[in-house]
Structure 1
């Protein structure tokens, strides 16, 4: 709709030789607003009032103005308020109904998303929630727009924890055939703690890890079994969260590319040997902060995160050549990724590498989320705690099906997270976010179910609406529906699922206002009733699509 408005206004501004000043934006004082009056007045040395009144008059004099606006007025100190005509609104509403409400891209750009990033042999904890759901949401947003995406979990399967588990299994003489998730969850923390307190054990675990990376056959067999058991449990939790991946690759899959990477770095004279380790200096003359060199090979010859991340870039570009590679990783890794991206540029990679940074989840007290014993909260524990608190809210909650309960629990956890700007940390108050009122997942689900009930208990002819808009509640709802693509594009541009979370909350509020003020069952005018039901049908579809973008499913009832 905004494009139509600009297309209409452009000749008027150009006739006045003011084409470069045409700027139209949303406003809380009108449907849209021209807010360039001050700049024109300043540049032309004319009073804002004189310019504003002249422009408003020129727009109102146009023969076709009523096709676009019901009212155009200049308001002091220097704005032109635009109130959109019912005709223009309904033209676009009917376009949504007939052709779908998503304006698809024609671009062939491919986005490669690296998100999830769990470590093999370690249980998923609350810190794994954000990369999984932020990455999944961004992927869904891109897909809805029409972009091709490739999602990779990028398992941490090449680190010291593997050596620690192998050491523990051999120390306790546990046959590989007996390894299960409970055993793995016992051995890893025990051996990790032992390695921290016993230098001899640490060195042995380090040696095992290094030998594994070099291809030791025995350790490879251990590694395969450890990975199988661990990944099966990781998949169980990701399935619960509705998070999926096209690729289940890990750091170890970049191993064949590491020799090629090191040769490339050395042939370009980028490698410096420092105390036996190989490093790359990335500092630039323009840097205003300290940029330490990046280690690409430790003194014992083993690889580290920077090595595997660079080798993985080589692998991804060679196999998929995406235009964008997005890394959904904790903000505390910003320096690491800045170093990796700089080296990739030195190697000639022109792909857009982006760190989609996010903050941490804290408890309701603002402190890091921990168990009562001071340990990091496991993801299973978070899910179970959320279930318990939601069930305790109302007696009726205890009667719902397990499927519906899981959908509501997912909405509590995901909407609590995704409504926040991902770059910021936030406090997760389970009790607050479990309410069916306020800015919560259950509130939006409840709003959607209300509308679904109206649609299923009334018969109507699906199709275009008439030219009439009946009241301000109706108009505001239609305008919000027409805003959908603006929010979708903003979410893509800024890589922010919170933009969609904000939109769906506003839409839910407008639908609740409709529900409370307009009783469809008492409407006798069939055209009005049919129009309302078609608007509610479109609203329900948009709201449901937004929930899907946030990885939230509708329950059958609440």
Structure 2
């Protein structure tokens, strides 16, 4: 149990003894340490409900509260309850945290099966900078949810079916360079698609040929299916290289094509259950009528007033759409994987689409705690969407390569004597960590500017700053004459810098579970930055190697715990820590 949970439980017991019923007792870390370590407005909220004096009620609550063994409680302002924690409490809890392989973080009280849908690039196209947010955010949320004890199933729902394959099939048969395909498949497939796409715009006959190839594929033509299958496998191989580099894994790659044979029956079922209705030859999902217009995703306000905003699940020509496939994935994930929750880590522009999918799925009887984990855009230095000079999307592999190159240059300047192989590995760790942390330190709904200089700085809110903090701690232990064993070490916190470091260390147990409340890894990123700053203040104020006896052991134990929390927290963000930089 975290210290925060302990205080909440004690406050809840005091509230019950005062008012005679069980009530929620929210406690938060104090924004200003001058007023204590934690605080609660429970007395004020309750007093407002009961039309009584909040300070008088707070006095009753404090009088009934058991604070033995952790600290004291006091009233502030109109009725806030502030809690001051004893240094001995911080010391004992930090010692227990150091001995705990989970670093004090409790498992979730209710463990669920959670399907996380993230990354999801299109086959035969390169991953671009826009895939950074979904891929890195989804991977981090999966790591955190697993660590908290949930059964997580990650699914890369790739775009491996659709109209673009008509052009790729025609190009495959006419202009494909097999040698280039084998050497690096994605660029060759992109070239084929672009050249045929350009030709189709200029020549209607080419477009008709592409449509004919697509029809043959959809009808099960053996040759086209074979080409399509190879195209998908080659694309997966190219994508896997990037995922391996990013240390991102998936339990499944069930793309759009996986659900093809389910779509016709699904549409028939929607019609049968009156969820889908024929409109102008297409089958559409309309409003269920249960929600007010301004809350209903199937209603939209135009100049003439509120009108229908249906989702098409079968076009008039018999073709299916993304929505049809998304309904099929919902059904599969609930029926086959027994999902309690399904998270979609997809950009904010798809908000309406998912609102429609979630609403209609619930009416269909398929409800699994849906979450659209939306995010904003990555901007260039000009604060516009990040593009190349030619106007194309910046490719993800180019971003990663440049991050590593810039990290290598910075490392060479700081530590030119590192062996070449070690320097190369460190540059990879630091460069990729910088890209990940730049993403994960942001509120996910914020558009942010992609700045190389800021991202790779050794000072400031960056991955290199945190990685360097970890390296600095490990260098302390390399200077010892013999390995340090923290078992049985009694922590003594004599200075405010030691107390504050311990205070932040034990908050790791409070921070990690809170991330999933709103799916915000930036809470962890910000915590780690605050912890690193506290460590540097401690290191400047409290000599470690120059101290003696029990004090030296206590300070070494604080260093050991800090390095463990930094490395573990960064690991939950998908970021590694080098031993040297």
Tell me the CA shift for residue 199 of structure 1.
4.2
User: CA distance change for structure 1 residues 303 and 210 in 2, over 3 Å: closer, same or farther?
Assistant: farther
Q: Find the aligned partners of 2:230 and 2:315 in 1 and give their Cα distance.
A: 27
Partner in structure 2 of residue 425 of structure 1: 447
Partner in structure 1 of residue 305 of structure 2: none
Partner in structure 2 of residue 190 of structure 1: 195
Matches within 5 A, 1:330-479: 330-393=347-410, 395-396=413-414, 401-458=423-480, 459-466=483-490, 468-479=492-503
Tell me the CA shift for residue 556 of structure 1.
3.0
User: CA distance change for structure 1 residues 341 and 13 in 2, over 3 Å: closer, same or farther?
Assistant: closer
Partner in structure 2 of residue 527 of structure 1: 550
Alpha-carbon RMSD: 2.6
Q: Find the aligned partners of 1:94 and 1:6 in 2 and give their Cα distance.
A: 22
User: CA distance change for structure 1 residues 109 and 371 in 2, over 3 Å: closer, same or farther?
Assistant: same
Partner in structure 1 of residue 114 of structure 2: 111
Q: Find the aligned partners of 2:202 and 2:447 in 1 and give their Cα distance.
A: 32
Q: Find the aligned partners of 1:156 and 1:337 in 2 and give their Cα distance.
A: 17
Q: TM-score, normalised by structure 2?
A: 0.88
1:504-531 Cα shifts (integer Å, max 9, x gaps): 111111111122222211112x212212
Q: Find the aligned partners of 1:40 and 1:301 in 2 and give their Cα distance.
A: 59
1:248-290 Cα shifts (integer Å, max 9, x gaps): 2210011122133122112213333333322221363512151
Number of paired residues? 552
Residue 156 (structure 2) pairs with residue 139 (structure 1): no
User: CA distance change for structure 1 residues 207 and 359 in 2, over 3 Å: closer, same or farther?
Assistant: farther
Tell me the CA shift for residue 339 of structure 1.
1.8
1:477-527 Cα shifts (integer Å, max 9, x gaps): 112122112211111111111111111111111111122222211112x21
Structure 2 stretches lacking a partner, 5+ long: 301-307
Partner in structure 2 of residue 265 of structure 1: 270
Matched position secondary structure for 2:358:
helix
CA contact (8 A) 1:391 1:397 kept: no
1:433-457 Cα shifts (integer Å, max 9, x gaps): 1111000111110011111122333
CA contact (8 A) 2:37 2:84 kept: yes
Residue 171 (structure 2) pairs with residue 168 (structure 1): yes
Structure 1 stretches lacking a partner, 5+ long: none
Matched position secondary structure for 2:69:
helix
User: CA distance change for structure 1 residues 23 and 348 in 2, over 3 Å: closer, same or farther?
Assistant: closer
Worse-matched range after superposition: 483-492 or 132-141:
483-492
CA contact (8 A) 1:120 1:162 kept: no
User: CA distance change for structure 1 residues 415 and 334 in 2, over 3 Å: closer, same or farther?
Assistant: same
Residue 313 (structure 2) pairs with residue 296 (structure 1): yes
Worse-matched range after superposition: 457-466 or 407-416:
457-466
Partner in structure 2 of residue 537 of structure 1: 560
Matched position secondary structure for 2:342:
strand
Q: Find the aligned partners of 2:565 and 2:447 in 1 and give their Cα distance.
A: 29
Q: Find the aligned partners of 2:396 and 2:403 in 1 and give their Cα distance.
A: 11
Partner in structure 2 of residue 550 of structure 1: 573
CA contact (8 A) 2:40 2:80 kept: yes
Q: TM-score, normalised by structure 1?
A: 0.92
User: CA distance change for structure 1 residues 44 and 381 in 2, over 3 Å: closer, same or farther?
Assistant: closer
Tell me the CA shift for residue 80 of structure 1.
3.3
Residue 326 (structure 2) pairs with residue 309 (structure 1): yes
Tell me the CA shift for residue 467 of structure 1.
6.1
1:218-250 Cα shifts (integer Å, max 9, x gaps): 210110111121111110011111111111221
Q: Find the aligned partners of 1:82 and 1:124 in 2 and give their Cα distance.
A: 50
Matched position secondary structure for 1:520:
coil
Worse-matched range after superposition: 231-240 or 526-535:
526-535
Tell me the CA shift for residue 55 of structure 1.
5.4
Tell me the CA shift for residue 347 of structure 1.
1.8
Q: Find the aligned partners of 2:462 and 2:408 in 1 and give their Cα distance.
A: 16
1:320-370 Cα shifts (integer Å, max 9, x gaps): 111111111111111112222222222211222221111111112211111
User: CA distance change for structure 1 residues 41 and 334 in 2, over 3 Å: closer, same or farther?
Assistant: closer
User: CA distance change for structure 1 residues 334 and 547 in 2, over 3 Å: closer, same or farther?
Assistant: same
Q: Find the aligned partners of 2:124 and 2:50 in 1 and give their Cα distance.
A: 69
CA contact (8 A) 1:152 1:246 kept: yes
User: CA distance change for structure 1 residues 91 and 157 in 2, over 3 Å: closer, same or farther?
Assistant: same
CA contact (8 A) 1:390 1:431 kept: no
Partner in structure 1 of residue 153 of structure 2: 150
CA contact (8 A) 2:379 2:448 kept: yes
CA contact (8 A) 2:334 2:340 kept: no
Tell me the CA shift for residue 210 of structure 1.
3.7
User: CA distance change for structure 1 residues 214 and 65 in 2, over 3 Å: closer, same or farther?
Assistant: same
CA contact (8 A) 1:121 1:161 kept: no
